[in-house]
Structure 1
Amino acid sequence: MGVEIAVSGLTKQFGSQLIWDDVTLTLPAGEISVLLGPSGTGKSVFLKTLVGLIRPEKGSILIEGQDIVRLRGDDLYEIRKLFGVLFQDGALFGSMTLFDNVAFPLREHTRKSEKEVAAIVHEKMDLVGLTGAEKKLPGEISGGMRKRAGLARALVLDPEILLIDEPDSGLDPVRTSYINQLFVDLNAQIDATFLIVTHDINTARTVPDNIGLLYHKHLAMFGPREMLLSSEEPVVRQFLNAQTVGPIGMSEEKDAEELAAESGQELPPLPPIPLQLPTSDRTPRRAERGAGVWCRDNGITPPPGSFASTTAGVPGVRHGVGA
């Protein structure tokens, strides 16, 4: 089962350049969270900080009662064993076969026999749909297959936390859909805590249990998917609905003149909230909430047409899991 990550007051800067300040959020154990934000807002830096590769200037990151920010040496090495990381480009060794790439963490960090290593590698490669590709080199396969090989490698030590950096980068929409489905299915199977950094709005709207948005050097909002998809907060509304009207411009923030020109414009309506992506076999995930439940419990009327495939009975609520 995944573990909770409690981030409090996290601040990071490089020299005089502030990346983000006073970031506070809790990634719930076993749930899928997505982190969004305009380019250059420090999303990848945040992932590296969570795993202890980058030290923040202030704040804490508590995992199982230990603050990663203050750990050093063997203690940090041990807590890192909870993590699996899928880097943006897969980060595979070009001269190694996929089998050897996936086996690398096992050979480096465990004393398992080659027979045991082979069994685990085959299991994880089967899990991500790469059975039969073990002898291929990274240069011989597609970008989507490289992503899946990187994911298999991230899974071999049975992590309780998976950090995933822009899995849709370089992938076409079909392969992005496949890898999104894989994340949902994996979460159901291994119950790990997922944090996915992405720019893909469809991924953010349909995959996670929770969404966070970094903007203008701070965390604009973090919470359940339906909370952000129904939010009227200008930055959240603009970004999650890919709209041009709002405070975000081509260079991150619009200037006063641009904002003044937009004043009085009628905002486009919020689009319907889609159903969350289910597992392939429709088996409920432990963290899955019923569609519309958060809105109902918080007295929020979702945009018209939300949860359109729900059954009759309670408007906007899918009957079954969490309803």
Structure 2
Amino acid sequence: MGVEIRVEGLTKSFGRQTIWQDVSLTVPAGEISVLLGPSGTGKSVFLKSLVGLLKPDRGHIWIGDRDLPRLPESKLYETRKLFGVLFQDGALFGSMNLYDNVAFPLREHTKKSESQVRQIVMEKLELVGLVGAERKLPGEISGGMKKRAGLARALVLDPEILLVDEPDSGLDPVRTALLNQTMVDLNAEIGATFLIVTHDINTARTVPDNIGLLFLRELVMFGPREMLLSSEEPVVRQFLNARTVGPIGMSEEKDVSELEAEAALGRDPGRLPPIPPQLMTSDGRIRPGQHAPGAWCAAHGVTPPAGSFVDDLGRDWVEEWPRYVASMAPGAAAAADGGFAGDPRPGPSAPGAGR
């Protein structure tokens, strides 16, 4: 099971430049969370701070009951073993084949025999669909395969927390979708806490249980997926709509005159797009961190954007969800009307399909 990450009043600067300040959030144990934000807002710096590679100016990072910035070196080293990290480019050693890349952490940090190492490495390569490619060098494989190899290496020490930095970087939409599916399946399989930094709006809208947004050196919000995807904050609407209208500019923040000109012309970041059904696991199981579609909105009296939670075949998953849950219960019989008869796994009409 994953470990909760609790951040309190975190501030980081380089010289006179403040990267972000007074950031507070809780990444729930075992759930998938995404951190969004315009380029240059310090998302990668945030990940490096969480793993102890950078020390914040002030604030706390609680990993379970350990306050990371205040740990002695020996305790920090032990706490880092709870983490696995997938870097933007995979960060593979170019002179090593995939097998040796994945085996590297085991050989460096454990005393396992080579037979034990082989068993673990092949298990992780199978998890990410790379069995048969283990003898290839990084220069002989595609960008998507490099990402999956980096993911296998991040998993090899069985981390309780997985940090993923820009998994979509350099990948086409199809490979990004395949990697998203892999991460959702892995979360269901290993139960680790996932924190993903991304610019990909489709990933942010369909994959996580929780979403946060960094902007102007602050955390605009962090919480359940539906909270951010239904927010009327101008910066949220602009980012989700990929519009030029709104507070985000080429230098991160637009000046007052630009915003006043947009307001005078009656321009705004646009309406929020519908909230899509969340991406399901390949075998249709319901992850512990996954909640009923529309549940957060209903509990907080929020009306979601029109068309929310409707899949590509027009099925409303606020209505379908109770039947789907019932169909997935052990020994459950399919409904007489055939809603999920025979094979309850997600197909084209299931939550997240084709998105």
Per-residue CA deviation, residues 28-66 of structure 1 (Å, 9 max, x unaligned), is 000000011111110000000000000000000011211
The alignment yields a C-alpha RMSD, in angstroms, of: 1.5
User: In structure 1, what residue type is equivalent to 2:71?
Assistant: L
1:318 partner SS: helix
1:125-140 to 2 correspondences below 5 Å: 125-140=125-140
Question: Higher mean Cα deviation, 270-279 or 248-257?
Answer: 248-257
Match of 2:231 in 1: 231
Instruction: Verify the 8 A CA contact 1:293 1:317 in the aligned structure 2.
Output: no
Match of 1:152 in 2: 152
Match of 2:283 in 1: 281
Alpha carbons of structure 1 residues 136 and 317: separation in structure 2 relative to 1, 3 Å: same
| Structure 2 CA distance for aligned equivalents of residues 259 and 204 of structure 1 | 27
| Structure 2 CA distance for aligned equivalents of residues 267 and 37 of structure 1 | 16
Q: Select which of 304, 312, 318 maps to 2:321.
A: 318
| Structure 2 CA distance for aligned equivalents of residues 315 and 129 of structure 1 | 33
Q: Is 1:172 equivalent to 2:172 in the alignment?
A: yes
For structure 2, which runs of at least 5 residues remain unmatched after alignment?
Answer: 327-355
Deviation at 1:321, TM superposition (A): 4.8
1:198-213 to 2 correspondences below 5 Å: 198-213=198-213
Instruction: Verify the 8 A CA contact 2:237 2:270 in the aligned structure 1.
Output: no
Deviation at 1:250, TM superposition (A): 1.6
For structure 1, which runs of at least 5 residues remain unmatched after alignment?
Answer: none
Instruction: Verify the 8 A CA contact 2:292 2:318 in the aligned structure 1.
Output: no
Instruction: Verify the 8 A CA contact 2:241 2:269 in the aligned structure 1.
Output: no
| Structure 2 CA distance for aligned equivalents of residues 238 and 83 of structure 1 | 33
| Structure 1 CA distance for aligned equivalents of residues 319 and 301 of structure 2 | 12
User: In structure 1, what residue type is equivalent to 2:304?
Assistant: P
1:35 partner SS: strand
2:321 partner SS: coil
Match of 2:191 in 1: 191
1:3 partner SS: coil
Q: Is 1:269 equivalent to 2:271 in the alignment?
A: yes
1:214 partner SS: strand
Instruction: Verify the 8 A CA contact 1:291 1:317 in the aligned structure 2.
Output: no
1:5-84 to 2 correspondences below 5 Å: 5-84=5-84
| Structure 2 CA distance for aligned equivalents of residues 260 and 300 of structure 1 | 29
Instruction: Verify the 8 A CA contact 2:92 2:138 in the aligned structure 1.
Output: yes
User: In structure 1, what residue type is equivalent to 2:176?
Assistant: T
Alpha carbons of structure 1 residues 201 and 267: separation in structure 2 relative to 1, 3 Å: closer
- Number of residues paired by the alignment? 321
Q: Is 1:295 equivalent to 2:326 in the alignment?
A: no
User: In structure 1, what residue type is equivalent to 2:239?
Assistant: F
